[in-house]
């Protein structure tokens, strides 16, 4: 297995961050022209990963949907951090902290509108880590 941790600067805002650049750079370095599986892992209790279209409003729609499902003002039991931070701890139950996708000839085999995205609603932590691991096939 080949693995690398990458840092993503999410700022202090809710974000759907397209990981295309990070994934492409990792595969170019670690798995040029190879087939296998790419595993993505977010070692945080308040972030998740999603396969979603970006750039056409779907990323904003996802954040809006999460706000409706997990409203910041819902009186969460988990109360440290910024107001409503308890909802951030529920997020990984809805958006898993891992993804596995096929890699063919050194590139992720996604559909034309699919992107691999880090979803972070936690405004308390401005930098996130994502572990990328390649398993040759």
List pLDDT tens digits, range 15-61: 999 999 999 999 999 999 999 999 999 999 999 999 999 999 999 99
DSSP string, 6-60: EEEE-TTS-EEEE-HHHHHHHHHHH-TT--EEEEEE---TTEEEEEE--SSSHHH
List pLDDT tens digits, range 103-132: 999 999 999 999 999 999 999 999 999 999
* Mean pLDDT value of segment 61-86: 91
Query: Domains in the chain and their CATH numbers?
Result: 2-136 (2.60.120.460)
| The model's pTM | 0.95
Give pLDDT, residue 96: 97
């Amino acid at each position: 297995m080949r693995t690398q941790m990458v840092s993503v600067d999410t700022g202090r805002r809710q974000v759907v961050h397209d990981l295309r650049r990070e994934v492409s750079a990792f595969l170019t370095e670690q798995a040029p022209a190879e087939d296998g599986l790419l595993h993505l892992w977010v070692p945080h209790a308040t972030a998740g990963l999603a396969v979603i279209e970006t750039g056409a409003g779907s990323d904003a729609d996802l954040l809006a949907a999460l706000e409706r499902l997990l409203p910041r003002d819902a009186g969460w039991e988990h109360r440290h951090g910024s107001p409503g931070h308890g909802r951030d701890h529920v997020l990984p139950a809805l958006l898993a902290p891992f993804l596995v996708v096929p890699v063919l000839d050194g590139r992720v085999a996604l559909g034309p509108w699919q992107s691999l995205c880090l979803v972070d609603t936690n405004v308390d932590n401005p930098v996130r880590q994502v572990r990328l691991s390649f398993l040759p096939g």
